[in-house]
Structure 1
């Protein structure tokens, strides 16, 4: 029996799709990765346990990247490594793009970027399960994370710090 090329291609595609299936649930869940920036510095980019999360404006929101992988079942003692880059002068006036002056300006400007790391505990998931991982960047390079289905600034959000926070003159050690 002779099988047409299109039919063989379709059958091959179906077999390929079936080969990706497994009998049982994955140990991990994927969720969106969001940022809430409570500081006046821009978050140029951030990551949580190596999963990238985009950027966040000063006193604003960002991220929205898919996906961060977390254990399906929350367990006590889970720690998240948050790494981020800040720009303390995100609205600096620059020369026109593409010029030698702009390139020189950016070399100097990028020299002032801050690179930070924080290790924070992952709070328990709510009854609804994992909705997303929301990372809050606070003054003094502090970070909080939540998996609540109540996104900030909902009154039900577990993180209640105001969006526009000021850096204290001296950060606690």
Structure 2
């Protein structure tokens, strides 16, 4: 039996693998551009909403911690969940995504902000329909909810916007993959024999 040997590496394979690694890196990054400033401002507004009155005399921080001040005004579970989601996803993942520019973190910030927007609606509604004698939604709750809605919009735009470099790299990878799949086994053997 004859052992088939691989042709000597002429450097093109190493060059190709470097290009593919660079393409994968570019595909995993986001380029928020001017939206980065908008997202940073919205994160700051969201942080400010935590020190403003959430409802009655309870600030967002009081709701976050679930202390006696929050319990005295009848804070319900949706308000506490909203504040935690807004803090974790609206502030935490948004800042991580801006700093690292990773597409996965931006996607998590988008998904968490969208969930937080829906829970924020429930939190506002629960404050508007609170039992008699309990205060309605405060400026902190409303400001935080609007900030999370705007964060969701801007993260959606960032996540689904692909740069021209990313689109060209994806198209080139698809074409190379289609070309490799169309090759037959005999063509591979012929090409190896020519290179040796």
TM-score scaled by length of structure 1: 0.29
In our comparison, the structure showing a higher alpha carbon Rg is: 2
Bigger relative contact order, structure 1 or 2, given CA contacts below 8 A and separation 6+?
A: 2
TM-score scaled by length of structure 2: 0.26
Higher strand fraction (1 or 2): 1
Higher helix fraction (1 or 2): 2
